[in-house]
Copies of this chain bind each other. A is one copy, B any other.
Amino acid sequence: MRDFSVDHRWLSLNTATVRKQGDLTQIIEACARHGIRAIDPWRDQVASVGLDRAVRAARDAGLELSGYCRGGMFASDAAHRGEVRDDNRRCIDEARALGAPCIVLVVGGLPQYSRPGSVVSKDIGAARAQVDEALAEMLDYAREASMPLAIEPLHPAYAADRACVNTTRQALDICDRLDPQRTGALGVALDVYHIWWDPEVLSQIARAGQERLLAFHVCDWLVPTKDILNDRGMMGDGVIEIKRLRAAVEAVGFGGYSEIEIFSNDWWGRPMDEVLKTCIARHRTVV
C-alpha cells in the first residue's frame, strides 16, 4: 500500500467538492496553488467556462485528470433514447478533448428522475434493463474513441432517483456481460461512500481486479447524516474505514489517484483554500 503521509502526489480533487466557491478556472488556480496534480471536473462546470477554456486552463496549470463526471442517466422511456445517446456521445467527445482517462457513469434511477419528462415508472427491473441496453450503445462509441467507461455503483439510498446500479457486484456483472474479455474499455469507479456498508465489498474488489478498477473516490459517512445528498463528510470525520478499502484496491493493483469528492452544504460554505488545505491534511493522515 502506498505511503500517502509524505506528500499528496496521489490526491485528485473532484471539482464538485468546491463547486460553490468558484468556477472551474478558479478551482484550477487553487489546485495549482496547493500543489494538487489532478482533478475530476463535472460537465456543467466545464460548460459554464467553455470547453476550450477548460482544456487550456488545465493544460496551463499542468493538471492531469483522474476522470470526467459524468456520463450515464441511461434509464429513460422510448421517447428519450435519442437524447440519452446523443448526450453521452457529447460527453465522450468532451472527455477526449480534456484528456480524461475515463468517464464516470452514474447510470440513472427510474426514468422520470433519470431523464425528466419520461413516462413515470416504478419498475426498477425495467430501468436496469434500459441501463444495460443504453450503456452497450455508448460503449461502442467509447471504444472507437478509446475512452474507458467507469460504472459507479451508488449507495442504495439513490436507487430511485440517481442510479439503479447499487452494488459493486451488480456493476461488475454488467462489465462481465458487456466486456467479457476485460479489454479495459469498461470498469468501475468505486467511491467509499457508496460501497463501505457492503458485506461483499472486499471480495468484489478482488473480483474486479486491476483491469476493472478505473477510479477510486473518497469522502466519509457521517452519523447522523442530515441530508441524504449533500451531507457527505471530510475523510476522518465519519465511520468509513478508508485505509482498509484503499488497501483492498491497491492489493489488486490499483495505482491511480485517490480522488476526493465531497458533496456537503457544510464544506461548500467554507473558503476554498481552507477546504483544500483540509483535504490535503486528511489525505496524508486518514486516507
Interface residues of A (CB under 8 A from B): 110, 113, 122-124, 128, 155-157, 159-161, 164, 166-167, 170, 196-199, 221, 223-225, 228-229, 238-241
Residues of B within 8 A of A161 (CB): 223-224
Bound form: Cα–Cα A167–B204 in Å:
16
15 contacts between A and B (CB under 8 A): A122-B239, A122-B240, A124-B196, A124-B197, A128-B199, A156-B156, A156-B157, A159-B196, A159-B197, A160-B221, A161-B224, A166-B198, A166-B199, A167-B199, A170-B199
Interface of chain A, helix or strand or loop or mixed?
A: loop
- Give the Cβ gap from A157 to chain B, nearest Cβ, in Å: 5
A251–chain B nearest beta-carbon distance, Å? 16
Other than A123-B241, A156-B156, A224-B229, give 6 A-B pairs with Cβ distance below 8 A.
Answer: A124-B197, A159-B197, A160-B197, A160-B239, A161-B224, A225-B228
> CB-CB < 8 A to A166: which residues of B?
197-199
**CB neighbours of A164 from chain B (8 A):** 197
* CA distance in complex: A228, B60 (Å): 43
Best-surrounded residue of A160, A170, A229, A240 (most CB of chain B within 10 A): A160
